[in-house]
Amino acid sequence: MNLQVVGANLVVSIKSFYRDKTVVFFRIAFPVILILVFGTIFMERDNEIFDLYVQDLDQTESSAQIVKAIGLSGRFKITHVSPDVNAAQYAKDNKRNLVLVIPKGSEASLMHRMGLNDPDTFVSLTQIYDPSSFGVSTKIQVLHMVLAGINQKMSGKPPFIKTAEISILTKKYRFIEFFVPGIIAMAVMTASLYGSVNVNAELRQKGVIRKLSTTPITRTDWILSNVLYQFILAVISTIVMLLVSYSVFKVSLEINAWMLVFVALDVFAFVGLGMILTSVAKEAESAAAAADALMFPMMFLSGTFFPVEMMPEFLQTFAKVLPLYYVNEGLRASMVSVDHMAALRYAAAIGVFAAVVFILGMRITSLSEEVT
């Protein structure tokens, strides 16, 4: 290994990087934009107040009290719908995903139940909803919880079953704290895989590798300088993502040595995978297409954007064979739950994968035209 050669290669790679604004955007700015956009969306959802359209056909003191009680739950912003319109048509015409209809005779039913102490008398509120609307089922669930609470209060008896919450984490965490480690893992994976494919396939196609094969640079010098370059950029990109997350969302994430370990393993694993892809698919375009085919399922199935527990069981099993899953979970174990033993387990899993693909990638990568 010749450090002067490694250094020369590193300098060329870094200069090529900062002189290409598109690469700088996708490498540094794009992950930050993802954090800003998704962070903003999901910060809103953490404390979401739903819009609820209510049509009161009874127009009595009791029905007004029901509407008021729903509003007091703090989960709904209530808009009144005129009793003169057809509620279903109103929902359709105005794209309202949920309209709650309080029927005529509600107060009479309530009086009957309370006056005659008849527990079989009830009032049925109609929910007119759009099943194609994203999030309407959550809104209906919240409404049911609120109505259950109102029913409980109206009964005049304290509830028998109460709940108490004990978090396994020391602080209260929000979606953004889950999201940022996932984006770090994904951004490092994308850049390492594409970087490796570009360096090895594009330069080969352009004939630069052929020229380099007539110089004293060795395969080890070449690969080492590329890994170092990817690692430096991964660290810079991670720092920028964290700075934005701390300053904009005031995230509560632990920074420790594990983070660097997982970033390094992420780089090694995906640079190695990139070297293998490039050797299998000689053309730059087909290598990039193969990288896409590997990356997209990994992004969505390995818990980058949402927890794998939300997926069906067979997909959860599949997620556990994806290397990015271990980087995601490892980063969360070190940055969110600060569970060092869990971080160690995930580091061991991704470490073994990184070692295997990197050694394999090194063995089949060659600067020669013939030996690949």
Partner 1 sequence: MSKETEYAIEVERLTKRYGELPAVNDISFTVRKGEVFAFLGVNGAGKTTTVEIIETIRTPTSGKVSLLEMDATKRKRDIVPRIGVLPQGFNSFDRITVRETIQYYSRLFSCRNSDIDGLIELVDLKEKAKVQFKDLSGGLKQRLGIAVALVNDPEVVFLDEPTTGLDPRSRREVWEVLLGLKNKGKTVFLTTHYMEEAELLADRVAIIAKGKIIAMDSPAKLIEDNANYMILTLQSVEESASGIIRKIGFEPVHDTHRNIKVRLEHTDDVQKILHAIKDGGASFLGLDVRKPNLEEVFLKLTGETLQENPAGERGAG
Place of tokens 């990197």: 358
Q: What's the closest the beta carbon of residue 280 comes to partner 1, in angstroms?
A: 20
CB contact set of 71 (below 8 Å; sequence gap of 6+): 78
Q: Residue 12 or residue 49: which is nearer to partner 1 going by CB? A: 12
How is residue 108 written in tokens? 């009479």
| Four-CA torsion 234, 235, 241, 242, nearest 10 degrees | 150
Q: What's the closest the beta carbon of residue 289 comes to partner 1, in angstroms?
A: 22
Q: Residue 144 or residue 211: which is nearer to partner 1 going by CB? A: 211
Q: Residue 107 or residue 221: which is nearer to partner 1 going by CB? A: 221
Q: Residue 223 or residue 244: which is nearer to partner 1 going by CB? A: 223
Q: Residue 12 or residue 321: which is nearer to partner 1 going by CB? A: 12
Q: Residue 208 or residue 356: which is nearer to partner 1 going by CB? A: 208
Q: Residue 12 or residue 33: which is nearer to partner 1 going by CB? A: 12
Q: What's the closest the beta carbon of residue 213 comes to partner 1, in angstroms?
A: 5
Q: Residue 127 or residue 213: which is nearer to partner 1 going by CB? A: 213
How is residue 105 written in tokens? 């005779």
Q: Residue 74 or residue 216: which is nearer to partner 1 going by CB? A: 216
Per DSSP, what are the bridge partners of residue 51?
77
Q: How far apart are CA 130 and CA 137, in angstroms?
A: 9
Per DSSP, what are the bridge partners of residue 99?
53, 128
Q: What's the closest the beta carbon of residue 32 comes to partner 1, in angstroms?
A: 23
Residue 102, classed as helix, strand or coil, is strand
Q: What backbone phi and psi angles, to 5 degrees, belong to 100?
A: -100, 125
Strands 76-81 and 126-129: unpaired
Q: What's the closest the beta carbon of residue 196 comes to partner 1, in angstroms?
A: 16
Give me the sheet containing 126-129, strands edge to edge: 76-81, 50-56, 98-102, 126-129
Strands 76-81 and 50-56: parallel
Q: What's the closest the beta carbon of residue 200 comes to partner 1, in angstroms?
A: 14
Q: What's the closest the beta carbon of residue 208 comes to partner 1, in angstroms?
A: 5
Residues of this chain that interact with partner 1 (CB under 8 A) are: 2, 4-5, 7-8, 11-12, 15-16, 19-20, 206-208, 210-217, 368-370
Q: How far apart are CA 288 and CA 286, in angstroms?
A: 5
Q: What's the closest the beta carbon of residue 217 comes to partner 1, in angstroms?
A: 5
Q: How far apart are CA 342 and CA 117, in angstroms?
A: 58
What are the counts of helices (DSSP H) followed by strands (DSSP E) for the chain? 16, 4
How is residue 316 written in tokens? 């959860």
| Four-CA torsion 314, 319, 322, 325, nearest 10 degrees | -170
Angle, in degrees to the nearest 10, between helices 340-364 and 257-280: 30
Q: How far apart are CA 71 and CA 50, in angstroms?
A: 10
Q: What's the closest the beta carbon of residue 207 comes to partner 1, in angstroms?
A: 5
Q: How far apart are CA 78 and CA 95, in angstroms?
A: 16
